[in-house]
């Protein structure tokens, strides 16, 4: 009886797994088939697998450009975020001063802002400063939107480092900057890694700010490229699927290596 | 004892290294001021103006007055609030069932956990296109399955019918976020004090009783947090709608975010003032709703303890 119950439970869980992951498996199959093959049967496995479709998407459908743009913007935004965010988090966790909690609250509370409150003016501001339609402008905006979450995660970690360590470092003659760079940051490496991975995924997938702030083909990031591509070729299901996989693969690779860390980061805000 | 000397020592020990603090905080505060605080204030300023590419003209409360009479806006508010109120309940309850199943030590729990979490890692752009296909009238798996089991008359263009379009999209967001909620709830379940559960078992408490009287009260804080989080997420929703329906058919899936975008960048009115008004009002509504929800949950917690 107990074995039967367990079997039913396992069956249900497997069904749910198929439901949760099935769409991606399907997209992966579609990405290796041509649209003609797909229209004959939408659910057949790729036989033979057309790997060359990835080269075609990359070179002739401009996905190479989108991919490079996404990489440039996201990598530089994540680097900046990590440096700027950990400096602020270290300071807020380590130094006692007036308005410490006020600054923390002001920075953190933007997490619930709906993006519309800034996006129209950001458009005006970036146009004024010649940053509209540029990767630099988008990068800076990305730093701004992920800053609250980054500071929140890092601050709670920095605050748990025992202060004896800092007193010892100070007695050894470390300067304030050295204490941050050579004591705080190395110890907080796990939390830093969590924010790096989390910010990478969230910004890699970002669409709203990109669609408002970028219009030029040469500066499009992957989500924008995909959107333009479906606009142009509604019916070419096979190639669209290949494009989707190009966008998904980096995320899957990161997830394969860091699944626990990523889950930790994503859920960090929810558990508190 | 030389008091003055003592005092100066004391002050020296407490002297704040303001310069250091400034260096550490300056980059963050600059970015915050330039790309969050200033734009937010400018949006509010915009909302009292007609903002054309070359000129601003103060209009007082005219934008707000127009907004109150704007039927499409109220339609989008209704859609968004429907979304923000249904999704959290669906997501959290399904996630709780799945988390309980994994908590009961089924084999392969780790694998299930990692697999179920995947949808939330994909961008709404990818998810939107996938579900456009899944709901496709001719060859989408949903309609294919319905026809296969002899329910051909139920097959329909799910995103093209004003009656089903919004529920179909709500379903997509639930599909996406259940795994996330499940992982958080599972972590909460695993951190429950073992003695309490064992005590309940000793008292001959069945699974149902244990769930309602022991587990749920203990993880209530997590449940409520997840509900608020999901609520905030749905109040902002834009990408999924923009990729799949753009608010169609007949404004059935228009959300506040898509409407702001349309009024600012798609409609050829060129006025950024009116969409800023929508954004400003919506900002106040979201803030008030979040504050009200947290206050409500806190209050109940206090009442029961």
Q: Which domains does chain A have, with CATH numbers?
A: 67-271 (1.10.3720.10)
Closest CA to B293 of B251, B232, B217, B241: B232
Tell me which of B304 and B272 has the higher pLDDT.
B272
- Residue B127 has what pLDDT? 93
Residue B12 in this model has a pLDDT that exceeds 50: no
Res B244 pLDDT > 50: yes
pLDDT of B7 over the 60 cut? no
Contacting residues for A49 by C-beta, under 8 A, at least 6 apart: A32, A33
**Would you state the pLDDT for residue A266?**
75
* pLDDT-above-70 percentage for chain B: 92
Contact of A220 with A214, CB cutoff 8 Å: yes
> With the C-alpha atoms ordered A177, A182, A184, A186, is the resulting torsion angle positive or negative?
positive
The encoded tokens of residue A26 equal: 């399907």
Rounded mean pLDDT for each run of 10 residues along chain A, 272 residues in total: 81 89 89 82 80 85 91 96 94 88 88 88 91 93 93 89 87 88 89 90 92 90 89 79 90 86 74 50
- B-chain CB neighbours of A127 within 8 Å are none
Could you tell me the two tokens for B86? 């249904």
Q: Cβ B125–A226 below 8 Å, yes or no?
A: yes
Q: How far is A32 from chain B (nearest CA, A)?
A: 15
From the list A3, A187, A267, A243, the residue with the least C-alpha distance to B226 is A267
Contacts of B283 (CB under 8 A, 6+ apart): A113, A114, A116, A117, B40, B43
The pLDDT assigned to A270 comes to: 61
Assign A218 to helix, strand or coil.
helix
**Nearest-by-Cβ selection for B36 from A43, A110, A267:** A110
Angle, helices B220-235 vs B71-103, to 10°: value is 150
Say if B18 is an interface residue toward chain A (CB within 8 Å).
yes
Q: Which residues contact B225 (CB under 8 A, 6 or more apart)?
A: A270, A271, A272
Smallest CA–CA separation between A249 and chain B, in Å? 10
Contacts of B91 (CB under 8 A, 6+ apart): B173, B174, B177, B178, B181, B226, B230
- Does residue B28 sit at the A interface (CB-CB below 8 Å)? yes
| pLDDT beyond 70 at B25 | yes
Q: Which residues contact B246 (CB under 8 A, 6 or more apart)?
A: B258
Are B225 and A272 within 8 A, CB to CB?
A: yes
Instruction: Tell me how crowded residue B213 is: count the other CB atoms within 10 A of its CB.
Output: 13
Confidence (pTM): 0.88
B133 interfaces chain A, CB cutoff of 8 Å:
yes
Q: Which of the 8 DSSP states describes residue A188?
A: T
**Distance, CA of A211 to CA of A214 (rounded, Å):** 6
Statement: residue B85 has pLDDT above 90: yes
Could you tell me the two tokens for B171? 């379903």
For residue B2, the distance in angstroms to the closest alpha carbon of chain A comes to 28
pLDDT at A212: 92
For residue A121, the model assigns a pLDDT of: 92
Distance CA A112, CA A94 (A): 26
Rounded distance between C-alpha atoms, residue B116 and residue A23, angstroms: 12
CB–CB contact B21 A267 (8 Å): no
Q: What pLDDT does residue B300 have? A: 67
- Dihedral sign (CA B285, B287, B289, B292): negative
Among A21, A71, A18, A61, CA closest to A238: A61
This complex has an ipTM of: 0.87
Where do runs of H (alpha helix) occur along chain B? 3-14, 18-32, 38-46, 62-68, 71-103, 109-117, 124-134, 141-148, 165-190, 194-202, 207-209, 216-218, 220-235, 239-244, 256-261, 273-304
Percentage of chain B exceeding pLDDT 90: 37
Question: For residue B13, what pLDDT band results from cuts at 50, 70 and 90?
Answer: very low
Q: Dmax over Cα atoms in chain B, in whole Å? A: 99
B97 and chain A in contact, CB less than 8 A: no
Q: Enumerate the residues of chain B whose CB falls inside 8 A of the CB of residue A237.
A: 133
How does pLDDT run across B268-279, given as a tens digit for each residue? 777 888 999 999
Residue in chain A lying closest to B219 (CA): A271
Residue ranges and CATH numbers for the domains of chain B are 64-292 (1.10.3720.10)
Beta bridge partners of B57: B50
Q: Which of A12, A43, A141 sits opposite B35 (nearest CB)?
A: A141
DSSP one-letter code for B154: G
B residues 254-273 lying closer than 8 A (beta carbon) to A: 256-257, 260-261, 264-265, 272
- pLDDT confidence of residue B302: 59
Please give the Cα distance from A127 to B280 (Å, whole number).
21
pLDDT beyond 80 at B202: no
CB proximity list for A94: less than 8 A, separation 6 or greater: A158, A163, A166, A184
Which one of B21, B32, B51 has the shortest CB-CB distance to A144? B32
Contacts of B183 (CB under 8 A, 6+ apart): A263, A266, A267, B113, B116, B117
**Taking Cα atoms as reference points, which of A212, A38, A9 lies closest to residue A116?**
A212
Confidence check: pLDDT of B8 > 60: no
In chain B, which among 42-71 make CB contacts under 8 A with chain A? 42-43, 46, 51
- Pairwise CA distance, residues A219 & B83, whole Å: 33
Furthest C-alpha separation in chain A:
75
| Cα Rg of chain B (Å, integer) | 26
SS3 B56: strand
Determine, for residues B115 and A208 on separate chains, whether the beta-carbon distance falls below 8 Å. Answer: no
* pLDDT band with cut points at 50, 70 and 90 for residue B303: low
What pLDDT does A151 receive? 92
pLDDT confidence tier of residue B71, bands split at 50, 70 and 90: very high
Q: Token pair of B73, please?
A: 């806006």
Residue partners of A17: CB distance under 8 A and separation at least 6: B112, B115, B116
| Strand, helix or coil for residue A128 | helix
Contact between B146 and B164 under an 8 Å Cβ cutoff? The reply is no
- Is the pLDDT at B304 greater than 70? The verdict is no
- Residue A17 has, within 13 A of its CA and on its CB side, a CA count of 16
DSSP B34: I
């Amino acid at each position: 009886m107990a074995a039967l119950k367990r079997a039913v439970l396992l069956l249900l869980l497997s069904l749910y797994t198929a439901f949760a992951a099935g769409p991606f498996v399907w997209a992966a199959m579609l990405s290796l088939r041509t649209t003609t093959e797909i229209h004959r049967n939408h659910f057949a496995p790729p036989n033979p697998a057309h790997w060359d479709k990835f080269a075609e998407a990359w070179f002739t459908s401009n996905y190479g450009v989108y991919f490079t743009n996404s990489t440039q913007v996201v990598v530089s935004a994540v680097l900046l975020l990590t440096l700027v965010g950990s400096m602020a988090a270290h300071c807020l966790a380590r130094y006692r001063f007036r308005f410490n909690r006020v600054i923390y609250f002001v920075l953190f509370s933007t997490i619930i802002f709906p993006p519309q409150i800034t996006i129209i003016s950001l458009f005006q501001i970036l146009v004024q400063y010649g940053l509209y339609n540029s990767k630099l402008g988008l990068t800076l905006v990305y730093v701004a939107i992920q800053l609250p979450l980054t500071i929140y995660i890092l601050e709670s970690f920095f605050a748990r480092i025992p202060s004896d360590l800092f007193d010892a470092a100070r007695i050894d003659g470390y300067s304030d900057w050295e204490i941050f760079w050579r004591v705080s940051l190395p110890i907080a490496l796990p939390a830093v890694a969590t924010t790096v991975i989390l910010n990478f995924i969230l910004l890699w997938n970002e669409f709203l700010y990109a669609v408002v702030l970028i219009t030029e083909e040469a500066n499009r990031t992957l989500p924008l490229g995909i959107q333009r591509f479906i606009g142009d070729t509604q019916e070419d299901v096979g190639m669209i699927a290949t494009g989707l996989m190009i966008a998904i693969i980096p995320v899957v690779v990161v997830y394969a290596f860091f699944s626990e860390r990523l889950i930790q980061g994503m859920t960090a805000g929810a558990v508190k | 004892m030389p008091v003055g000397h003592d005092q100066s020592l004391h002050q020296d020990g407490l002297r704040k290294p303001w310069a250091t603090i400034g260096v550490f905080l300056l980059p963050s505060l600059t970015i915050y001021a330039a790309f969050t605080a200033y734009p937010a204030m400018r949006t509010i300023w915009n909302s009292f103006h007609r903002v054309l590419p070359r000129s601003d003209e103060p209009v007082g409360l005219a934008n707000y007055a127009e907004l109150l009479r704007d039927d499409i806006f109220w339609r989008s508010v209704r859609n968004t609030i429907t979304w923000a109120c249904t999704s959290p309940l669906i997501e959290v309850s399904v996630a709780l069932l799945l988390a309980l199943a994994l908590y009961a030590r089924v084999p392969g729990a780790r694998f299930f956990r990692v697999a179920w979490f995947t949808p939330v890692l994909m961008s709404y752009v990818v998810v939107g296109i996938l579900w456009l296909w899944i709901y496709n009238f001719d060859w989408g798996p949903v309609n294919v399955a319905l026809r296969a089991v002899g329910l051909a008359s139920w097959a329909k263009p799910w995103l093209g019918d004003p009656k089903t379009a919004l529920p179909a999209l709500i379903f997509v967001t639930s599909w996406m976020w259940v795994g996330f909620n499940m992982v958080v709830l599972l972590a909460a379940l695993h951190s429950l004090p073992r003695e309490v559960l064992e005590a309940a078992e000793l008292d001959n408490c069945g699974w149902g009783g244990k769930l309602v009287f022991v587990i749920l009260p203990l993880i209530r804080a997590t449940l409520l947090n997840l509900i608020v989080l999901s609520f905030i997420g749905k109040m902002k929703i834009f990408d999924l709608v923009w990729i799949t329906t753009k608010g169609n058919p007949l404004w059935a899936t228009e959300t506040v975010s898509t409407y702001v975008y349309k009024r600012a960048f798609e409609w050829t009115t060129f006025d950024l003032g009116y969409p800023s008004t929508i954004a400003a009002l919506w900002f106040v509504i979201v803030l008030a709703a979040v504050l009200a929800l947290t206050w409500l949950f806190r209050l109940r917690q206090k009442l029961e303890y």
